[in-house]
């Protein structure tokens, strides 16, 4: 395994677009391509292209036209398809409800923690026959967060660095009691998709960070109507221009050649595998080559 921090990395930037973001602007030489993974098909074809000479791969999280609900997304295929396409860094863009007065619709939040209350999803590439436990104590890459923060500041877009995203299963929005509970837990925003996406990116050793775009005050705010899809879509249409401009600004900075990630996201599996090589299931190991070949080769 090569873990020399001076090792050169030529980044490939993955963008996962959430509700209201089904394409990105300004990509050159773009081409939608089907990518099959050992875990099946991702939400849609992936859009490959370059922006300012940086290789980019875009995936609309719910598919073009939004046919897929959060519980039916093949999160493993989505992340594996990114890894198989050479992606080193993922910027996740998501519509979220606000759980705090000071985070109004239109505000961007560079999330740094999650509480994962999703329950009807496959959450790991690893399984019986090859067990791994990665750390998600710090689930996002601070390096990507730094770039998002710098660009949002330059662009004058209202934003907050840090905040906890509560991941609910959905597809129904929360009850008022749930919304109040999450507020008491200190959560900042709520959505339905960023877990297990962030956990799987960590298992695949891809740097990952979320820029959450507030679309509503969920259902706790006495002066605002409870969230509806109509309201989310209306605000997302306003947020989308900011989101597209942000991505365009972030890509040259993220795409510059660099060393290994100082936070170690790209070495997350280094000490995570616990199944002895002789006890591993060859069929599972062969699937895992798509996301974990770096450590499996060494074992
Ligand atoms: C259309 S409102 C609910 C929907 O929007 C968010 O999705 P995404 O994170 O992909 O932007 C939320 O999590 C729900 O899936
Ligand atoms: N209030 C909310 N709850 C869950 N997901 C959301 N996505 C956008 N707004 C949301």
At 167, the pLDDT band (50, 70, 90 cuts) reads: very high
Establish whether residue 169 lines the binding site of ligand 1, counting it when its CB lies within 6 angstroms of any ligand atom: no
Structure tokens at 240: 């989308």
Is 62 marked as binding a ligand? yes
Q: Is 266 a catalytic residue?
A: no
**Which one of 3.40.50.1580, 3.60.130.10, 3.40.50.880, 1.20.1540.10 gives the CATH number of domain 10-297?**
3.40.50.1580
Establish whether residue 229 lines the binding site of ligand 1, counting it when its CB lies within 6 angstroms of any ligand atom: yes
Structure tokens at 190: 């709520």
Instruction: State what percent of residues in the chain have pLDDT above 70.
Output: 97
The domain locations on the chain are: 10-297
Q: Compute the CA torsion angle 226, 229, 234, 240 (nearest 10 deg).
A: 120
The whole-number average pLDDT for the span 166-185 is 98
Displacement of CA 196 from its chain's centroid (Å) = 9
In this prediction, residue 225 carries a pLDDT of: 93
- DSSP notation for 60-115: ETT-TT----GGG--HHHHHHHHHHTT--EEEEEEEEEE-STTS-TT-EEE--EEE
- What's the count of helices (H) and strands (E) in the chain, helices before strands? 6, 11
- Is 299's pLDDT higher than 60? no
- Is 126's pLDDT higher than 80? yes
- Is 70's pLDDT higher than 60? yes
Establish whether residue 213 lines the binding site of ligand 2, counting it when its CB lies within 6 angstroms of any ligand atom: no
- Nearest bound ligand to CA 187? 2
Establish whether residue 19 lines the binding site of ligand 1, counting it when its CB lies within 6 angstroms of any ligand atom: yes
Q: Compute the CA torsion angle 63, 232, 118, 140 (nearest 10 deg).
A: 80
List the catalytic residue out of 89, 116, 218, 266. 218
Q: Write down the pTM of the prediction.
A: 0.97
pLDDT, one tens digit per residue, over 195-208 is 999 999 999 999 99
| Among 17, 101, 19, 20, CA closest to 56 | 17
Distance 95 CA to ligand 2 centre (A): 7
In this prediction, residue 5 carries a pLDDT of: 59
Q: Is 225 a catalytic residue?
A: no
In this prediction, residue 1 carries a pLDDT of: 54
Yes or no: say if 244 and 110 are a contact pair by the CB < 8 Å rule: no
What is d(CA 24, CA 44) in angstroms, rounded to the nearest whole number? 14
Is 226 marked as binding a ligand? no
């Amino acid at each position: 395994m090569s873990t020399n921090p001076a090792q050169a990395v030529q980044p490939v930037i993955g963008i996962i677009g959430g509700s209201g973001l089904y394409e990105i602007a300004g990509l050159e030489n773009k081409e939608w391509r089907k990518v099959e993974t050992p875990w099946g098909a991702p939400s849609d074809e992936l859009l490959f292209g370059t922006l300012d000479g940086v290789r980019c791969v875009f995936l609309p999280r719910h598919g073009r036209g939004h046919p897929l609900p959060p519980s039916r997304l093949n999160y493993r295929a989505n992340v594996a398809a990114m890894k198989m396409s050479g992606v080193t860094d993922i910027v996740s863009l998501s519509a979220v409800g606000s759980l705090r007065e000071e985070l109004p619709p239109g505000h961007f939040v560079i999330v740094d923690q999650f509480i994962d209350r999703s329950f009807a999803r496959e959450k790991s590439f690893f399984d019986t026959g090859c067990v791994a436990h990665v750390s998600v104590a710090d689930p996002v890459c601070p390096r990507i967060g730094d770039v998002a923060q710098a660009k949002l500041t330059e662009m004058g877009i209202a934003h907050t660095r840090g905040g906890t995203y509560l991941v609910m299963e959905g597809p129904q929005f929360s009850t008022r009691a749930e919304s109040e509970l999450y507020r008491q837990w200190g959560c900042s925003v709520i959505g339905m998709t960023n877990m297990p996406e962030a956990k799987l990116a960590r298992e695949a050793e891809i740097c990952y960070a979320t820029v959450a775009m507030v679309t509503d005050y969920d259902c706790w705010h006495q002066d605002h109507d409870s969230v509806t899809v109509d309201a989310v879509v209306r605000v997302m249409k306003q947020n989308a221009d900011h989101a597209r401009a942000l991505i365009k600004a972030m890509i040259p900075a993220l795409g510059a050649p660099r060393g290994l990630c100082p936070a170690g996201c790209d070495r997350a599996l280094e000490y995570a595998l616990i199944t002895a090589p002789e006890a591993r299931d060859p069929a599972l190991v062969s699937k895992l080559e798509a996301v974990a070949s770096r450590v499996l080769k060494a074992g």
